[in-house]
Structure 1
Amino acid sequence: MGPAASYAGRIRRSSFLVLLYLSKIRSFNASTAADAGVRITDNSGHVLPLSDSVLHDATAISYGTCLSVCGSGPMSFAWDEFSQLFSAWLLPWLALISQLPFGGRHRIDNVVSIMLAVGSPALAGYSLVLTVLNSHWVMRRFHQFKQPRSGHAMHALRCLQQAPLKVLSFDLVNTLVVLRENDSWWDNIVERLDYKHTWSVSAVTNLIWVSIAFMFIVIDAFRNLKSEDYNVRGESVGVVWLWLLPVVVGWLQISPKCDAERIEKAMHDTNTKAYHVVTSDGIINGDAVPTRLYAVSLYDEGRGAVYDDEQCTSPIYNYARVFTWAHAAEAIAMAYQCAEERVGSGESSQLSSHTGSVGHTYSGVACGHSYHAHDSLRAPGVWKRISAASVMGLLLLWSTTGAAFMLSWLTPTQGLGCRAGTYLVYGVVATIVWLFMFISSILVRCEVMPTDVTHSVLSANPRLGLPGLMAISLRRIAKVLAAGNTIWIICGCIFQFSGFYNRCWCNSSVMSWGARAFSVLQTTESDVSYLHSTWAGGVVLSAVSSIFFYLFLNLYLHEPPRGR
């Protein structure tokens, strides 16, 4: 049975119940209605004087009258109608969640990633936009360099946003850039990370299913809008999940490298085959280096709970890596910039490890730049990117959740009822989750403020200070809230389709009206016209905002050349 048929069945049942309730009201005459405490209102909540004509034309009743006539319980559950509405409005979105990128080492990490994305679309949008803006920034930063493998370095950094990237020291990064033998390092890491997992048949099928189902159901809902069934439709359900489309498509376009084991193997194999050297007083020493003393590598697991989110390679955790990634990217960019300045002064930009001493030529200070690990909070442009990503993430959340809230608020009986309250709580909690995660990412950086570049690298500290403890607490609270918010929104949608919300208390918007609460049993022609414009406005608001979010991504999302 298709969507139109499912709605037809729902309308027939809803219409029957409404007619039953109205027939009870209309069976009274003015005197018996007054004795029974019946109060008739118009659809704006104004109490009408009792008369036979008013009773005959009644379309709304007071909350107390609704309880006495209809009872306090919900509409009875009907599986066939629920299953049809659930499969038409909610199931496609739940299936689309599977297309979000995961890649965590442990299954629990992937489950938490789902909870964070669904529990806070603001965080999902924030991490996505941050990833795109970081890629755009690193492309522009490296585009000016003409040195060998600078294009490979740029591409490697774009791919390693999902990894806990570590730069040991600026001198080691310099040797990675200036030694000809280390050109193969960049070749190897790019080759090993140059894989894609995007646009599978399953992903395309899910996207098409969701898009077509949403369009068809919305069209069907508007064409068959009846005065008796306005409270059982799912426009608001479709709207509140619309954020998922641009987020999924955006990640599919980026194709993030988030397979933890594959990233670690690529970095390990590349580092063991590269020609590493250690610099001391500006002299290149080609002797063997201590084990695992690499210019660029990954942090190991077990650094402590304060770094758990940085270690998880799921892309939604890019929020936690923004400072360390920017720190590492700027260190590599500065090494290339120093090489560019040496070329400008007539010196060679690259040497072989057999050339021996080159004085202080390759130190960061010698080329007019100083580099300190504790500057990660002040990496170039990082706060601009964070600000833009925050605005876009919150815009995506509140344009969809806000539209769903508006649809429910303005649907008779207008006001804060069960449906509108569900979306309001969802949006507020989702915002809190994003805020707590954002604050925790800053507190982690405040926990470790190294002063020695060589030994900094944000190493684990078994005795955490107040910033670290606060970061862990905020993060865990946020994850619990996200899990609860995920369950909340899914249950809220299910309640709407099951008829759980179709009860006097919810339909009367008691939270807004209080003692003056009333329940609209039948809409008028003017109400139907108003519902058309209201629902159209909500759908357009969420759709346009989602399209704007997607266009913003594509404004900065393009593949740079890798030729150098």
Structure 2
Amino acid sequence: MLAALANKSLIFLTALIASVDLVYVNASVDFPQCFADIRNGSRGPTGGTNNQGIPVPDITKATSITYEFCLQACGSGRGAFSWSAFSQQFSAWLLPWLALLSQFPFGSRYKWDNFMSVILALGSPCLAAYSLSLTVLNAKWVARRFANIDYPNRQHAALILSNLQQIPLKVTTEGSLLASLIVLPENDPWWKEVMERLDYADIHTWTIAGVTSIAWVVIAYALTIVDAFSTISTDPNSTGQGLGSIWVWMLPITIGYLQISPRSDAERVAKALNLANNISYVAGPNGAVNADTVSAMRALSSHPYRESMYSDQEATAPIYNYARFLPFVQVVEDFASAFRSASENAKKRKPVNSDEPWERGDGQTIHPANRSGTAAQVEVYCTAPKYVRRSHWGPDIFSRFVLASLASLALQWSTSGASILIVYSTPTVGKCLPPILMHRLTVIFADRPRLQVHRISLYAAVATFIWIFLVASSVLSHYATTHPDHPDVSHRAAAHGAVLFRRVAKFLAICNAAWIITTFLLQFGNFYDSCYCNSDVLGLGKRAYNVMVLEGPDISAMKTAWVGGVVLAVVASGLFLGFINLFIDPSP
């Protein structure tokens, strides 16, 4: 479905560009021929400059021309649309990256949530990196949270909770459900059942298709880089090199998800929990009984939210982990607190039934007789002392938030910065914005040639704001749940603010994703190949000039900047992948 929709969108955009070109076909300009006529003097004797914009007296020795002379000699039209050039650029610089999106994990119950996960990733790479970083950091934190607990099934609990980060979870402590799940020996099969059902065969992990897709993208990117450098002296604006590095963030994100193998299939995980819950037990007045005979509630289940405030928490594609961060911490704390209390009591050789003596086990496990009792006894056994206070926000959330934020911002701005560096190093090429933005921005930036708002900078800035809005939405949503039964004005305002921020962010993500892809397609279709864009009028103002021929120093400087841009994008992506692997530990 996603692939078909993407194909239809690309076909529509391509047809739109071709139709625009047909409308202005009479205004198209053959810039190579025009420049050749200018250099032989047939278009006039004045208007020539060197590649620094300094006028030269002899037009035949000019390597650049002023913007005014470009309009006079060549006209205000654009370079003609060439389908062969467009298709070659599209297949080399854009198609491999879009194809790599198919390797992202999905699994949400609703198609719209899966589609929006792609849009959110394209619209805000920072958000995709942030959610992946949180997933890895949370798994590390869960393992440490259970490391000092010595009670049966604590390893299963740590693994199960780490694997369920993509699922909206509900913990029920009433009726000793959670305490019974942890303490009763009759529930040992429950833990094993969940573990086995979560380890399904077609989990999102390394496959031949995934490795092939990544290898194809890496090879395609390497070949396009080589091709761009080989044509730099003839037409530096003929390739997508200025925008190509902006997609490199997809590689570490894709590899990271393949490594952690998120359980994001909503239907399958919900089924696994439901089937396992059928064999769960709860403490009764005369011993353990099947939980189904007491209540339809279970200690751990998938939470089917109904309110709009929780829609992103319910979507199981991993990019929505940003919305589940704080609720997930509370779920882990519910389990860790109960396990810790049971562990402390066991260390003191206290059985659940205080009227019975402690039975010695085999030295490796706790004797089942020490883990049986009534509902009240089980509840007390797993209750933390009153002096232990829990925060509604959870422990260590700030450090994980800061680490994930810094890593994701560094990845996005490094790849975007690499593209900006490459574009800005190309003499007076590619500094063009749509007409709707030209007037206001020219007034602000006309006398500041290197501070103009470039389309890549705009993309990266909007992507950052999307991340900020969605993180703020998750915080407000969690705050709104502090008193769900008796919300005051501040909690109701937070709930409305969470929904508003999320919707604004998604609208911006749709616009930003469409913006960057359309920018690619327009560049490949020669839409920016005009006197205005090639002369950098927005940045240079009255000093604008159009480079006709690149000289040795220009080519050398461009190559240096291009190498720097590619190295920046690749190294930053490698460092982010190294950061992810630094916190991926073997299973306990």
**Given that residues 89 and 524 in structure 2 are in contact (C-alpha distance below 8 angstroms), is that contact kept between their aligned partners in structure 1?**
yes
The residue aligned with 1:242 is: 248
Out of 40, 48, 52, the position equivalent to 2:48 is 40
TM-score by length of 2: 0.83
Instruction: Please say if 1:24 is aligned against 2:14.
Output: no
Out of 369, 376, 400, the position equivalent to 2:392 is 376
Out of 110, 113, 116, the position equivalent to 1:109 is 113
Instruction: Measure how far apart 1:355 and its partner are.
Output: 6.3
Instruction: Measure how far apart 1:331 and its partner are.
Output: 1.4
Instruction: Measure how far apart 1:416 and its partner are.
Output: 3.9
Secondary structure of 2:92 counterpart:
helix
Instruction: Measure how far apart 1:503 and its partner are.
Output: 1.0
Secondary structure of 1:162 counterpart:
coil
> 1:349-368 maps to which residues of 2 (within 5 A)?
351-353=370-372, 358=377, 361-366=380-385
Instruction: Measure how far apart 1:285 and its partner are.
Output: 7.8
Label 1:175 to 1:75 Cα distance change in 2 as closer, same or farther (>3 A). Answer: same
> 1:194-205 maps to which residues of 2 (within 5 A)?
194-195=199-200, 196-205=203-212
Instruction: Please say if 1:317 is aligned against 2:324.
Output: no
**Given that residues 123 and 511 in structure 2 are in contact (C-alpha distance below 8 angstroms), is that contact kept between their aligned partners in structure 1?**
yes
The residue type equivalent to 2:388 in the other structure is H
The residue type equivalent to 1:473 in the other structure is L
Secondary structure of 1:519 counterpart:
strand
The residue aligned with 2:456 is: 423
> 1:217-232 maps to which residues of 2 (within 5 A)?
217-226=224-233, 228-232=234-238
The residue type equivalent to 1:544 in the other structure is V
The residue aligned with 1:152 is: 156
Label 1:147 to 1:360 Cα distance change in 2 as closer, same or farther (>3 A). Answer: closer
Q: 2: CA distance between counterparts of 1:74 and 1:169? A: 68
Out of 523, 537, 540, the position equivalent to 1:496 is 523
Out of 208, 211, 220, the position equivalent to 2:215 is 208
Label 1:503 to 1:460 Cα distance change in 2 as closer, same or farther (>3 A). Answer: farther
Instruction: Please say if 1:255 is aligned against 2:286.
Output: no
- 1:264-295 Cα distance to aligned partner (Å, 9 max, x none): 1111111221002379xxx9885866533222
Label 1:20 to 1:357 Cα distance change in 2 as closer, same or farther (>3 A). Answer: closer
Secondary structure of 1:143 counterpart:
coil
Q: 1: CA distance between counterparts of 2:422 and 2:296? A: 58
The residue aligned with 2:329 is: 326
Label 1:247 to 1:253 Cα distance change in 2 as closer, same or farther (>3 A). Answer: same
> 1:268-307 maps to which residues of 2 (within 5 A)?
268-277=274-283, 290-302=294-306, 304-307=307-310
The residue aligned with 1:13 is: none
TM-score by length of 1: 0.87
Q: 2: CA distance between counterparts of 1:76 and 1:503? A: 10
Label 1:125 to 1:87 Cα distance change in 2 as closer, same or farther (>3 A). Answer: same
Please list every run of 5 or more consecutive structure 2 residues that lacks an aligned counterpart in the other structure: 1-28, 352-365, 435-452
Label 1:98 to 1:190 Cα distance change in 2 as closer, same or farther (>3 A). Answer: same
- 1:476-515 Cα distance to aligned partner (Å, 9 max, x none): 1111111111111111111221111111111111111112
**Given that residues 407 and 534 in structure 1 are in contact (C-alpha distance below 8 angstroms), is that contact kept between their aligned partners in structure 2?**
yes
Say how many residue pairs are matched: 522
Q: 1: CA distance between counterparts of 2:546 and 2:284? A: 78
Q: 2: CA distance between counterparts of 1:149 and 1:187? A: 9
- 1:105-142 Cα distance to aligned partner (Å, 9 max, x none): 11111111100011100000000000000011111221
Instruction: Please say if 1:345 is aligned against 2:345.
Output: no
**Given that residues 232 and 502 in structure 1 are in contact (C-alpha distance below 8 angstroms), is that contact kept between their aligned partners in structure 2?**
no
Instruction: Measure how far apart 1:396 and its partner are.
Output: 1.0
Q: 2: CA distance between counterparts of 1:409 and 1:339? A: 62
Instruction: Measure how far apart 1:320 and its partner are.
Output: 0.2
Q: 2: CA distance between counterparts of 1:89 and 1:544? A: 19
Instruction: Please say if 1:509 is aligned against 2:536.
Output: yes
Label 1:276 to 1:412 Cα distance change in 2 as closer, same or farther (>3 A). Answer: same
The residue aligned with 1:163 is: 167
Out of 495, 510, 514, the position equivalent to 1:483 is 510
Label 1:393 to 1:284 Cα distance change in 2 as closer, same or farther (>3 A). Answer: farther
Q: 1: CA distance between counterparts of 2:210 and 2:559? A: 33
Q: 1: CA distance between counterparts of 2:455 and 2:287? A: 64
Instruction: Measure how far apart 1:357 and its partner are.
Output: 6.3
Identity percentage of aligned residues: 39
Secondary structure of 1:276 counterpart:
strand
Secondary structure of 1:161 counterpart:
coil
- 1:356-399 Cα distance to aligned partner (Å, 9 max, x none): 8648741524486345xxx332x111121111111111111100
> 1:389-408 maps to which residues of 2 (within 5 A)?
389-408=404-423
Q: 1: CA distance between counterparts of 2:74 and 2:296? A: 74
Please list every run of 5 or more consecutive structure 1 residues that lacks an aligned counterpart in the other structure: 1-15, 451-455
The residue aligned with 1:8 is: none
Instruction: Measure how far apart 1:328 and its partner are.
Output: 0.5
Instruction: Please say if 1:191 is aligned against 2:224.
Output: no
Q: 2: CA distance between counterparts of 1:322 and 1:83? A: 42
Instruction: Please say if 1:531 is aligned against 2:534.
Output: no
**Given that residues 444 and 468 in structure 1 are in contact (C-alpha distance below 8 angstroms), is that contact kept between their aligned partners in structure 2?**
yes
Instruction: Please say if 1:138 is aligned against 2:142.
Output: yes
